[in-house]
Structure 1
Amino acid sequence: MTSSRIRWMLLAPLVTMALTATGTAGAAEGGAEPARTSLTGVTDKTTDGPSTAPATTFESAAFAAEDSCSRLPAGVRATVPDAVTACVSVDAGTGKATRTKAAAPSLAAAGLAADDPSGDGLGTEFEPDTDDPEPPPPSCVLTNPGNWTWSRTGGLCLNGAEVTYTLYDSNGKTIGTGLIQVNSTLATSYKSLDLNETITAKLVRVTGDVKSLVVKMQVGCDAGCKTVTKQPWYGASEMTPNTEKTGKTKYSGDAFAADTTRSSFRTNYKMYVTMPGATPVDPSASWSSPAGGEIRCDKEQPRLRGCVIPTNDMPVLSYSRAHEKYGIVVPIYEQIMQRRGTDVLHAVNQAKATANRTATCTPFTNLYPGVAGKDSCDEFPPASTSEGGQDGNLCAELTPQVVNGLWSAPATWPNRPASGNETCLRLHITQRANSSAGGVLGSLRKYQRLVEGDPFRIEFTA
């Protein structure tokens, strides 16, 4: 179907759907043709092209660290006689959390028996089409010096944390300083429990008796996570002004506790800063990733394990009325959500989704039993949500159609007209449209790592 040829008749918000049958009086459930009853109380709307996904919201929090002071060892004092104590402090920036938007790609729909073309019992709401584009690589925003930045799938970044090394004499007078700038980027993956991080430390400048510094680092993580690579770099080579060290660390989110299918944790960091010749014993500065940027890894999806960073910005399931495969169902989905008075749904696991689908679509009378793929049961709200699974006898049973370029959703059986108050649907649509509509949700589940209880928004676009 194309937007230039089809005129969609959409329901005005909160109007009553006139879904009573006015078709052939002798038609009964199981007949060859559904009743031809159109919706009333409608307005005309012309379709545009497909929509794109909403922008990703990045969240931010001020960087905080534990500072320390220690007496210098004899070996260093022999080189810098006046130096007695060294302290390391960290500039936490402005300390104000911010939210910025960055464009995100649209997620494509998926592509084809009644909502389970593969026959493995998962349903298309758990199976995106192989034609779906991969999401972009994680890329958090390196802005706001001294702040952490993160998003659900974009990773976690620390930008420009400033670590200051200060030498003091016996009178507490500053006799030298060194400024180190630290950046880190940690990438999550929807299809892997491995978390890879790059850390960079740059010696920006020195003053007074500080001519060079030795900088080492070590990372770790909370329960539920294993540290695979603890040090981003090795050795004790001196750093002089404008030189930097860059290295990679790695974590694994597969340390699930017994009888659990997900884990949440934070990463932590220790920096050892010394004058050349000193042996670090305790870390000079320690910090952890922000509480709001807690990483969640899970093994709850049928085939993929992966990690995200949940935020208050809910994932969005976007349906386009102009979509060539599933567009025919979107206007009636939209009306049902208007009746429900919310745009939020909640994910459930595979077992609950199967039970929900059975509750709404069993039994189901195929209008064209001799024609493969021409009819299937599409339930809405989706079976893979906690809002799905309503008794099919309480749902409006409709057959969306386009006749002479005009869209309508008549009651399928004239002896079972819809009241106009139902808040759930069982639709008669082709397997192609059914699979495509389910695949959009499958893509969202896959790329956003939706697990049991996760909320997400649903939106409808031209």
Structure 2
Amino acid sequence: MVDVTGRVTSLNISYDAGGDGGCSMSDTRPWDGTKTLGRGGAAAGTVTYSTPLAAGGLANVTSKHHMYVVASGAIPTQPNVNWDNPWRIRCDSQVGANPGCVVPDIRANFEFSLAEFGGAAATYGWAQNALRGGAPLSRDSSETTASTRREYTCGSKSSDPFVYMDDVVPNDSCDEFPFATSYEGGTNGASCADIVPLLENGQWMIYEARTDKPVTGTEPRVRGHVSNGNAGLALGRYVQRDGFSTPRSTTFT
């Protein structure tokens, strides 16, 4: 209760919750009965929502709220206040073994540490900033299409084969960005910028990989020469752990 005026020195408030999209609550009330609040008073409680989902299932949920407010001894003219959560909630069981829920309009950020992921993180960061202007990515949950995208960028479907440089990058591998697991991935390797990230004097430097294919800065994608690492596995675990759906963005540290 922020303030009171005149003869209204307190209000009696009750609250209950609801929702659509198949969600349910074991108890719709964060507190039983009414709470009487004067100036500076507060009432708080918890309502737990659940949305059962079969494997591969999807539900879009809106939480709903109702509050009943009256002053003692008064005749209420409009005591009911109803509103919906402005953020739509998406729950799905389409990633990993456990279902999860997200607010799709709020983009999540996965940070690739240079200290942990080295050349892979340097490749992603350079491409995200130099080629894409920080634009977010939208994740595709289909491993089938992701495999096809990898083939077009780094594999046999590319019209310009990836040239390994094990003499410069030990255990060299082709790492693409945007990821093959994003809708933005999968560009033919011929249109990619080919770069070599190298750690020199504690700083990651980005070099052109081929003199016959200069980097222009206008390429839509990048192929980085990086040592075999676990950046892709970390991204996969992140998606499964947090139950993410599209769209998603990526940031870098």
- Alignment TM-score, normalising by the size of structure 1: 0.41
Separation of aligned partners in 2, 1:410 and 1:332: 12
**1:269 maps to which of 39, 44, 66:** 66
**1:179 maps to which of 1, 5, 10:** 10
Aligned to 1:268, the other structure's residue is in SS state strand
Q: Is 1:436 paired with 2:231?
A: yes
Separation of aligned partners in 2, 1:163 and 1:285: 19
Percent of paired sites with the same residue: 22
Q: Tell me by how many angstroms 1:226 deviates.
A: 1.8
Counting only pairs closer than 5 Å after superposition, residues 194-273 of structure 1 correspond to structure 2 as: 216-234=14-32, 247-254=45-52, 261-271=58-68
Q: Tell me by how many angstroms 1:179 deviates.
A: 2.2
1:414-456 Cα distance to aligned partner (Å, 9 max, x none): 7xx3232343233332222xx236625853x46775423x152
Separation of aligned partners in 2, 1:319 and 1:219: 39
Conserved? CA contact 1:345–1:385, under 8 Å: no
Q: Is 1:350 paired with 2:145?
A: no
Distance 1:403 1:341, change over 3 A: closer
Runs of 5+ in structure 1 lacking a partner?
A: 1-159, 165-173, 181-202, 204-214, 277-282
Q: Tell me by how many angstroms 1:241 deviates.
A: 6.8
Separation of aligned partners in 1, 2:84 and 2:221: 43
Q: Tell me by how many angstroms 1:398 deviates.
A: 4.3
Conserved? CA contact 1:315–1:448, under 8 Å: no
Distance 1:353 1:267, change over 3 A: farther
Distance 1:228 1:404, change over 3 A: closer
Q: How many residues align?
A: 235
1:391 corresponds to which residue? 188
**1:303 maps to which of 92, 97, 114:** 97
Aligned to 2:48, the other structure's residue is in SS state strand
1:58-103 Cα distance to aligned partner (Å, 9 max, x none): xxxxxxxxxxxxxxxxxxxxxxxxxxxxxxxxxxxxxxxxxxxxxx
Distance 1:340 1:442, change over 3 A: farther
Conserved? CA contact 2:15–2:67, under 8 Å: yes
- Superposition CA RMSD, Å: 4.4
Higher helix share goes to which structure? 2
2:197 corresponds to which residue? 400
Q: Tell me by how many angstroms 1:389 deviates.
A: 0.8
1:207 corresponds to which residue? none
1:411 corresponds to which residue? 209
Q: Is 1:359 paired with 2:152?
A: yes
Separation of aligned partners in 1, 2:195 and 2:242: 31
- Alignment TM-score, normalising by the size of structure 2: 0.67
Larger Rg: 1
**1:285 maps to which of 72, 76, 80:** 80
Aligned to 1:384, the other structure's residue is in SS state coil
Conserved? CA contact 1:326–1:437, under 8 Å: no
**1:325 maps to which of 107, 113, 116:** 116
Runs of 5+ in structure 2 lacking a partner?
A: 157-161
Q: Tell me by how many angstroms 1:263 deviates.
A: 0.9
Q: Which has the higher contact order (CA 8 A, sep 6+)?
A: 1
